[in-house]
């Protein structure tokens, strides 16, 4: 089997985080942040994000800063 080119991302959000509306909002925010940062990650990386409920109420800039920290560890 041939691996697709580029990094692969997965987002898992447990039901304990909240109802579907809350989980989907978190998922949409993370996908948008990842879309802008996909070039920073090596093609061989597989990343699975499992955010907590605090992401829902957090400022977009704070979430972006934390995601940048995670992606920096993956590209090193």
**9-52 tens-digit pLDDT:** 999 999 999 999 999 999 999 999 999 988 888 778 888 999 99
What is the domain count for the chain? Answer: 1
Residue 2 lies in a domain: no
The string of pLDDT tens digits covering residues 46-61 is 889 999 988 988 999 9
Does residue 30 contact residue 67 with C-beta atoms inside 8 Å?
yes
Residue 33 lies in a domain: yes
Q: At 53, which CATH number?
A: 3.30.230.10
Residue 3 lies in a domain: no
* Domain housing 49: 8-75
- How many angstroms separate the CA atoms of 35 and 37, rounded? 6
């Amino acid at each position: 089997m041939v691996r697709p080119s580029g990094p692969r991302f997965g987002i898992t959000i447990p039901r304990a985080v909240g109802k579907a509306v809350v989980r989907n909002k978190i998922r949409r925010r993370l996908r948008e942040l990842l879309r802008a940062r996909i070039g920073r990650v090596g093609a061989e990386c597989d990343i699975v994000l499992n955010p907590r409920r605090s992401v829902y109420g957090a400022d977009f800039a704070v979430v972006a800063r934390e995601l940048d920290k995670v992606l920096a560890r993956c590209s090193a």
